[in-house]
Structure 1
Amino acid sequence: MSAGTFSYAIELRSIASPTLWLVTVAALVLLLSLDLLLTRRSRAERMGAAVGWSVFYLLLPMIFGAYLWAGYGGGVAVEFFTGFVVEKSLSVDNLFVFMLLLAAFAVPSALARQVLLYGIVGALVLRAIFILLGAAALQSGTWAFLLFGGILIVTAGKILKDVLGGHQQEVDISSMRTVRLVRRFVPVTEDYRGSRLAVREKGRLALTPLALAAVAILATDIVFAVDSVPAVYGVTDDPFLVFATNAFALLGLRALYFVLQGVLAKLRHLNHGLSVILAFIGAKLILHWAHGIWPGVPEIPTLASLGVIVVVLAVVTTTSLLANRRDRLRGAAVEEGVRDPVQEPAGEQH
């Protein structure tokens, strides 16, 4: 059996005209510029403003999805909404890692917005590069579906192994290769110097811890791009929709971070859900590849995918809330000196 039997050529088609691409990119640049202007002043984020911006950035994809539905049909809109839900759920995990990095670098709250913006811009650039690479790989043959599916299933297995093994996500900045590499070649100041990334000290250039935190977040962006781009290609093979879902998912992260800052650590089962979602999309990609070679192999419809993803996220959110409530009740019982009724032997008399 020839190698060609296992791969067939495909031609990626996009709904987007050059005008739509131009308008989308221009709107993205405008929103990022606005975000940059808002973060120029070193001050802590106000909760009211963070909530307002989070709502705004959630309304934008809803409006865009409605535009796609009216102009290109329900199928395209469902692909966009499904991809957006996938990318947004993965982005929440990104936020948790950002939170750990900001804590590890002891970034002042007044500078957190600036570091987050650097991370978001870096993520957009990196994902744009990975989207182009993914499109090129798919055009060269559907072996890329197998590769993407394999990456997602391996990643899902790793995430599940970590959570079942009780390994907590933590950040050791001294062990990060990028941080060690920067420190090796460029001196770093001991303290923060406002919002400055570099200063002149003793006649030579030195980076501030703020620059080091930005480099660390950029390094994590690369890892997240490896997972997120194949995941959304499992929903749609339209490069424009892949780019749009990533852009909309990332745009509101800065504000959403401050809204969810106290909640992120409480979503204890989020990684369980992400592992299921990534494994599911990985299987969907492999089935899609196999269907092109053996038409009898079934495919998973995009609408069904959206249903599975929403149900998984709803389940892990509910179980996280229930687990947190159970821990609060147990903690209250311990404080009152009352024995935990869950552990009390049945039928014990007092």
Structure 2
Amino acid sequence: MAVSGLTWVLTTLFVVGMLLFDFIFHARKPHTPGLKESAAWSALYVTIALSFGLFVLWHWGPNFATQYYAGYVTELSLSVDNLFVFLIIMASFKVPRESQQEVLLFGIVVSLIFRSALIFVGAAAINAFAWVFYIFGLILLITAGSTLKEALSGDDDEEESGENFFIRAVRRVFHTSDQYEGNKLFTQLDGRRAMTPMLLVMIAIGGTDVLFALDSIPAIFGLTQEVYLVFTAVVFSLMGLKQLFFLIDGLLDRLIYLSYGLSAILAFIAVKLVLHALHENNLPFINAGEPVPVLEITTQMSLVFILGVLAVTVLFSLYSPRGRAMAIIRATEDLAERYLALPADAPLEERTRINRQLGQKLGGMPRIPDHLKSELIENEQHYRDLIHRAHGEHQDFLSRATESR
């Protein structure tokens, strides 16, 4: 695949331009994106990514276009899984909703820089040493096993993902503040310069992105070894991640089987890498240093497998009894918290609308089996108190409104 220097320069300028546009017109102005805004921008980034695949098809042919699409879909699915950890980190640091855009954009920029470096290092290693595919395959197998183990145990390591060892060390060494001050990274506390939680959460997000890259890059090299395709697939999968975060924030909790699907995808790509390594083998202790005649998995087969696994995983998550139960429980929690967060001067219409939605969702609770309720509701007493407080506040508001007439 021949890629000119001009193509590389124009592609890089386009990526930098999109990042600057995103920062100037969105992240720089703290606000909470609505569903309509998030959906529009997510659709735009997906359209750009898919259109680029058509450009690859036109310029380099269907084989390279298929490699690009397989890489893009894989990287995007891994990015969605990463959003779970982002949610945990955001919750751990109690990041204000209106400031989350800037935190995510910072994480995306760090990830782009680090992953770009890994792409070129990985490409150089592959060109020099064919046995690197064995290492990539082993990394993905370990990652797949770890992902499956966490999914089976239900252990998300929430505490470690947020206030991890590194962040705790930073807090001990440096002077830090516990209060957010908009998007400021530093503030004055007790007459001394102190780090705000905004800087700490950016460090946590950036460090987590670095760890994600260690399984993300081997995964896409298992689908294509064309550096330009690897770079663009990674870039386009990350560019729309910020908008996707707000678009599917409420949906993430419902994708309860996503980890199983991603584990299967990573294991599949690991097998593909090992088969390719055997086909290109030059290690003297394997088949006397000669290539091993094995069946290789084509990119077309990979794309079909990845899309099929993702479709089954998402549909099963959304429509299984456990998925529907999770949807009802999370929706009632969200609506109750939204009602309790209303300002004192919130209009009656808004209060009535949220209370009505809460009542409708609660109407589905009797259909949830008791064993699922006890399994999915982390703290049943807290859940009951939350719903009771929301109903109580609404009744109190109606009583005050009636008395004032």
TM-score with structure 2 setting the length: 0.77
Cα RMSD, aligned residues only: 2.1
Q: Measure the CA separation in 2 of the matches of 1:267 and 1:141.
A: 39
CA contact (8 A) 1:104 1:172 kept: no
Does residue 18 of the first structure (1) align with residue 5 of the second (2)?
yes
Greater relative contact order (Cα < 8 A, sep 6+): 1
The answer as to 2:158 corresponding to 1:170 is: yes
Moved more, 141-150 or 287-296: 287-296
Q: How many residues align?
A: 327
Q: Secondary structure at the match of 1:300?
A: coil
Q: Deviations over 1:227-273 (max 9, x none)?
A: 10000000011111111000000000111111000001110000000
Whether contact under 8 Å (1:50, 1:258) holds in the other structure is yes
CA contact (8 A) 1:288 1:299 kept: yes
- For 1:268-318, what per-residue CA distance to the aligned partner results, in whole angstroms no more than 9, with x for missing partners? 000000000000000100000101233521100000000000000011111
Q: What's 1:348 paired with? A: none
Describe the shift of the 1:205–1:173 C-alpha distance in structure 2 as closer, same or farther (beyond 3 A). farther
Measured at CA, do residues 252 and 339 of structure 1 come closer, stay the same or move farther in structure 2, by a change above 3 Å? closer
Match of 1:141 among 125, 129, 147: 129
| Distance in 2 separating the partners of 1:55 and 1:265 | 22
What is the alpha-carbon distance in structure 1 between the residues aligned to residue 60 and residue 178 of structure 2? 55
Structure 2 counterpart SS, 1:263: helix
| C-alpha distance in 1 between matches for 2:260 and 2:145 | 10
User: What amino acid is the match of 1:297?
Assistant: V
Match of 1:303 among 279, 300, 310: 300
Q: Counterparts of 1:115 and 1:291 in 2: how far apart (Å)? A: 44
Q: Which residue identity lines up with residue 28 of structure 1 in the other structure?
A: V
- Name 2:23's counterpart in structure 1: 36
Q: Counterpart of 2:90? A: 102
Bigger Rg over Cα: 2
Residues 336 and 173 (structure 1 numbering): CA distance in 2 closer, same or farther, change over 3 Å? Answer: closer
Query: Which amino acid counterpart does residue 26 of structure 1 have in structure 2?
Result: L
| 1:254-333 alignment runs, 5 A limit | 254-293=242-281, 294-323=291-320, 324-325=323-324
Quick one: which amino acid aligns to residue 270 of structure 2? G
> Within the alignment, does 1:77 sit opposite 2:79 as a pair?
no
In 2, distance between residues paired with 1:206 and 1:303?
A: 53
> Which whole-Å deviations, capped at 9, do the CAs of 1:45-89 have from their partners, x for residues lacking one?
122211110000000011111011011000010000000000000
Which amino acid in the other structure matches residue 97 of structure 2? S
Cα shift readout 1:98-153 (whole Å, capped 9, x = no counterpart): 11111111000110111111111111111011112211211221111000000000
- Structure 2, gaps ≥5 residues long: 282-290, 330-361, 372-405
Aligned to 2:118: 130
State the distance in 1 between where 2:60 and 2:112 align.
25
Are the counterparts in 2 of residues 188 and 207 from structure 1 also a CA contact under 8 Å? yes
1:7-63 residue CA offsets vs partner (Å, 9 max, x unmatched): xxxxxxx53211111011100000000111121112221222111100000000111
Report the CA distance between 1:185 and its aligned residue: 2.2
2:217 counterpart of 1:229: yes
Give 1:276's aligned amino acid: A
Q: 1:88 to 1:202 in 2, by over 3 A?
A: same
Q: Secondary structure at the match of 1:266?
A: coil
Match of 1:121 among 109, 112, 115: 109
**Equivalent AA in structure 1 for residue 33 of structure 2:** E
Output the CA distance in 1 between the equivalents of 2:108 and 2:302. 27
Q: Where do 5+ consecutive residues of structure 1 fail to align?
A: 1-13, 341-350
The amino acid across from 2:324 in the alignment is: R
Give me the whole-angstrom Cα distance separating, in 2, the residues matched to 1:147 and 1:247: 24
User: Which residue of structure 2 lines up, in the alignment, with residue 60 of structure 1?
Assistant: 48
2:142 equivalent to 1:154: yes
Contact 2:92/2:163 (<8 A) preserved: no
Q: Which amino acid aligns with 1:200?
A: Q
Which one of the candidate residues 203, 206, 225 is aligned to 1:218? 206
For the structure 1 residues 57 and 338, does the alpha-carbon distance in structure 2 shift closer, same or farther, using more than 3 Å as the test? closer
C-alpha distance in 2, partners of 1:73/1:139? 23
2:252 is the counterpart of 1:253: no
Asked if 1 retains the 8 angstrom alpha-carbon contact of 2:255 and 2:317, the reply is: yes
Distance 1:329 1:90, change over 3 A: closer
CA 1:269/1:338 → structure 2, altered by over 3 Å: closer, same or farther? closer
TM-score, normalising length from structure 1? 0.88
- Map of 1:335 onto structure 2: 366
Displacement of 1:168 in angstroms is 3.7
Q: Separation in 2 of the partners of 1:267 and 1:82?
A: 21
* Alpha carbons of structure 1 residues 329 and 262: separation in structure 2 relative to 1, 3 Å: closer
Give the AA of the match of 1:162.
E
Does the aligned pair in 1 maintain the 2:85–2:161 contact within 8 Å? no
How far apart, CA to CA, are the structure 1 residues paired with 2:367 and 2:265? 41
The letter of the residue matching 2:15 is L
Name the CA distance, whole Å, in 1 between partners of 2:224 and 2:113: 20
The amino acid of 2:266's aligned partner reads L
